[in-house]
Amino acid sequence: MLRSSQPLPGPNRRRCREDEALLGAILDEGERGFIIDTRSAQAAKQARMTGGGTESKSSYPQWRRLHRPLERGRPLQESFVRLVDACSDPSLSMDRWLGRLESSRWLSHVKAALSTACLAAQCMDREQCSVLVHGAEGTDTTLLVTALAQLILDPSCRTLLGFQGLLQREWIEAGHPFHVRCTHSAYSHARLKQEAPLFLLFLDCVWQLSRQFPFSLQFGERLLLTLFDNAYASAYGTFLCNNEKERSLCKVKENTHSLWAWLSQPEEQQKFLNPLYSHNALVIWPSVEPQSIQLWQGLFLRWIRPSKHLDEAWAEIQQLVEKN
């Protein structure tokens, strides 16, 4: 699986031999590959006008392009804000709740993200084809898809350390601009141009996986909530800046502590482990039917709904397993 940003044929349909050679080198003679473009066909076409575009069939004959539009940017932030509003609206009656939930479209985005990741995984696992994923910039929905696909395919990404490695690789080092994406979250009135909860969407998808496969992830909801918190505001330098270059310029490694280091301390690590975990060497294929995708109550209702009873239940589960 590969990721990149969009090619730049532009309005004149330029070609680039090196790019074509690079993609050609990945596939053997006669082999086919898939390109998953996270923009709609329309949007991708329009991108040509501003210098971007897509891989044309004639230039990249071995690659088949699939479009799976995933929401990003301002609309995604709006979706997030609307969802949080719906959850915390005390006057909302039951007969309008689901409509409000739906009109935020958040769950639709979760479904779309999971579906696309599953598609990428399916191409690799079932079709045995290579996959190239890109959107426009290659820093948002692209990473969402590649990271999720790896969780689905690769059991080593589902361990605590493996997951941290996945985050480090596919989000942090790959250059997801955390600094501009995770600034004010949902309550702020300032609608910043660059703000968008892609990382939260990713965490939500991971939570859906953990719900559908309760034994297959070595970590639990608590880790996901902690990551969410730290992406926005953190005592650690892990999520600072927008890319490796900036981190190097700011000397992040020299001046801050790493979140992973803190997490790897045994007392801390214990809290984040899933007591039900048992290594599952197989691919996990989630159901993306609407009934299977649920609202992540632990995050969106975190401060609204008392978690006492559920915490008790988890403590009980922990106890049962430990006793054994």
Partner 1 sequence: MEHIRMPKVENVRLLDRLSSRKAVLGTLYLTATHVIFVENGSETRKETWVLHSQISSIEKQATTATGCPLLIRCKNFQVIQLVIPQERDCHDVYISLIRLARPVKYEELYCFSFNPKLDKEEREQGWKLVDLTEEYNRMGVPNNYWQICDVNRDYGVCDSYPTEVYVPKSATAHIIVGSSKFRSRRRFPALSYYCKDNNASICRSSQPLSGFSARCLEDEQMLQAIRKANPGSDFIYVVDTRPKLNAMANRAAGKGYENEDNYSNIKFQFIGIENIHVMRNSLQKMLEVCELKSPSMSDFLWGLENSGWLKHIKAIMDAGIFIAKAVAEEGVSVLVHCSDGWDRTAQVCSVASLLLDPYYRTMKGFMVLIEKDWVSFGHKFNHRYGNLDGDPKEISPVIDQFIECVWQLMEQFPCAFEFNERFLIHIQHHIYSCQFGNFLCNSQKERRELKIQERTYSLWAQLWKNRADYLNPLYRSDRSQTQGTLHPQIAPCNFLYKFWSGMYNRFEKGLHPRQSVTDYLMAVKEETQQLEEELEVLGERLANLQKSQLGDNKVKSKQQDRSKQLGLSTSNNSLANTPQEYSNDLKSFPSRSPSQGDEEDSALILTQDNLKSSDPDLSANSDQESGVEDLSCRSPSGGGCLPSEDSGKDSDEAVFLAG
By the rule CB under 8 A, 288 interacts with partner 1: yes
Q: Are 274 and 218 in contact (CB under 8 A)?
A: yes
User: Is residue 40 a contact point for partner 1 (CB under 8 A)?
Assistant: no
* The dihedral sign for the CA sequence 188, 194, 198, 199: negative
Q: Looking at beta carbons only, is 18 or 289 nearer to partner 1?
A: 289
286 contacts 118 by C-beta, under 8 angstroms: yes
CA distance 202 to 20: 31
Under the phi-then-psi rule, with left for phi > 0, alpha for psi from -120 to 50, and beta for the rest, what region is 188?
beta
Our CB check for partner 1 shows the closer of 233 and 321 to be 321
CB atoms within 10 A of CB 132: 22
Interface with partner 1 includes 128 (CB under 8 A)? yes
193 versus 323: smaller Cβ distance to partner 1? 323
Q: Closer CB to partner 1, residue 6 or residue 210? A: 210
* Sheet strands (E) in the chain: 2-4, 33-37, 63-67, 130-134
* Span from 232-240, 241-249, 261-269, 311-319 in contact with partner 1 (CB under 8 A): 311-319
Restricting to residues 149-168, name those near partner 1 by CB under 8 A. none
Q: Does 225 bind partner 1 (CB under 8 A)?
A: no
* Cβ neighbours of 145 (radius 10 Å): 31
Binding to partner 1 in span 94-113, by CB under 8 A: 94-99, 101-102, 105, 107-108, 111
Site string for partner 1, 204-223 (x = CB under 8 A): -------xxxxxx-------
By beta-carbon proximity to partner 1, the closer residue of 190 and 282 is 282
Q: Which listed range, 70-78, 164-172, 219-227, 299-307, lies at the site for partner 1 (CB under 8 A)?
A: 299-307
Q: Does 309 participate in binding partner 1 (rule CB under 8 A)? A: yes
E-strand stretches of 1-76: 2-4, 33-37, 63-67
Q: Is 264 in the site for partner 1 (CB under 8 A)?
A: no
CA 39 to CA 9: how far, in whole Å? 16
